[in-house]
């Protein structure tokens, strides 16, 4: 693929990534990783690492609407943040070492469960 | 006690986020299902929590030369513009709508990922383990 065409494709993917991330407050990263590995042919670890820097400004901009509307409660935010900074360190070092297929599949299955439970709970089935 | 669980939830989400696998996809349902937070609050928490986490991760990756600095902004620029607009929209719509939409999105993306994963396995299965490259 030509460079110019690739750039347009990246920008188009960016529009989708931004929409998803702004609306759902998550998920942009999961979409960006395959974009980099397919369009730019980056190897797996590089796609993941580059996805993190790509998502930083996107998440910053995504949080503006939420902050402006005043839904944010800062007390739980601080505690989750404390845990996740440590977790983030562990995860970033882990990425440089492991690639466990089993864990990846477990993670996706958990996602499906989480989605199904959310819907069931919303409609008071459980 | 809830404080301890919040920190643990953040820790788990942080690990996955740091690995560039989408920590929020796990953290948001945990916050809504186990802590009873509204969908909007959970989404907002996830977004803001990711900021320091990603800065820490970026330093580690940059040191290991894993970041491709030539392409990221090509996605980031258009994405950021759309993201601001959609975040204002998300803050306006009802939390229950968002919750169901998010759940459908989760299921969809997980199924797609599993299909891609299996496809790759089948394709590379005969030539032994294939770790990137």
Evaluate if residue B132 carries a pLDDT over 60: no
Q: How many domains does chain B have?
A: 1
Q: Contact A122/B97 with Cβ under 8 angstroms?
A: no
Alpha-carbon distance B60 to A4, whole Å?
Answer: 31
Q: Say if B118 falls within a structural domain.
A: yes
The ipTM of this complex is 0.89
Q: What is the pLDDT of residue A97?
A: 66
Q: Say if B104 falls within a structural domain.
A: yes
Q: How far is CA A72 from CA A28, A40, B47, B55, B77, in A?
A: 20, 36, 11, 21, 25
Q: What is the pLDDT of residue B133?
A: 41
Closest residue of B to A77, CA-based?
B45
Chain mean pLDDT for chain A? 89
Task: Report the alpha-carbon angle A24-B25-A74, nearest 5.
Answer: 70
Q: What is the pLDDT of residue A60?
A: 96
Determine what percent of chain B is predicted with pLDDT higher than 90.
62
Q: Say if B76 falls within a structural domain.
A: yes
Evaluate if residue B115 carries a pLDDT over 60: yes
Closest to B21 (Cα-Cα) out of A101, A31, A93, A79: A31
Alpha-carbon distance A29 to A20, whole Å?
Answer: 10
**What mean pLDDT do residues A41-59 have?**
91
Alpha-carbon distance A5 to B12, whole Å?
Answer: 38
Best A6, A8, A22, A31 residue to mutate vs chain B (most B CBs within 10 Å): A22
Q: Contact B83/A58 with Cβ under 8 angstroms?
A: yes
Structural domain span for residue B14? 2-125
Q: Say if B85 falls within a structural domain.
A: yes
Do A62 and B131 make contact, defined as CB atoms within 8 angstroms? no
**What mean pLDDT do residues B35-43 have?**
94
Output the CA torsion sign for B14, B20, B26, B32.
positive
Q: Say if A96 falls within a structural domain.
A: no
Q: How many domains does chain A have?
A: 1
Structural domain span for residue A66? 3-72
> What are A56-79's pLDDT values in tens digits?
999 999 999 999 999 999 999 999
Q: Say if A46 falls within a structural domain.
A: yes
Chain mean pLDDT for chain B? 88
Q: What is the pLDDT of residue A115?
A: 92
Most confident range (mean pLDDT) of A99-113, B8-22, B56-70 is B56-70
């Amino acid at each position: 693929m030509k460079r110019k065409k690739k750039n347009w494709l990246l920008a188009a993917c960016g529009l989708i990534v931004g929409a998803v991330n702004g609306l759902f407050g998550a998920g942009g990263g999961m979409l960006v990783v395959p974009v980099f590995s397919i369009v730019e042919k980056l190897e797996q670890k590089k796609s993941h690492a580059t996805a993190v820097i790509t998502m930083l400004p996107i998440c910053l901009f995504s949080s503006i609407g939420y902050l402006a509307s005043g839904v944010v409660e800062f007390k739980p935010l601080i505690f989750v943040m404390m845990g996740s900074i440590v977790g983030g360190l562990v995860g970033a070092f882990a990425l440089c070492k492991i690639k466990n297929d089993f864990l990846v599949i477990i993670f996706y299955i958990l996602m499906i469960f989480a989605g199904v439970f959310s819907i069931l709970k919303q409609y008071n089935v459980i | 006690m809830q404080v301890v669980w919040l920190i643990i939830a953040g820790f788990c989400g942080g690990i996955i986020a740091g690995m560039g696998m989408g920590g929020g996809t796990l953290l948001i349902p945990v916050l809504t299902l186990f802590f009873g937070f509204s969908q909007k609050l959970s989404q907002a928490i996830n977004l803001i929590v990711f900021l320091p986490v990603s800065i820490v991760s970026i330093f580690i990756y940059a040191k290991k030369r894993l970041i491709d600095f030539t392409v990221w902004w090509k996605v980031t620029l258009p994405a950021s513009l759309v993201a601001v607009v959609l975040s204002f929209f998300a803050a306006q719509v009802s939390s229950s709508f968002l919750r169901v939409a998010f759940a459908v999105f989760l299921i969809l993306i997980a199924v797609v990922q599993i299909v891609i994963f299996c496809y790759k396995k089948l394709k590379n299965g005969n030539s032994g383990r294939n770790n990137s490259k």
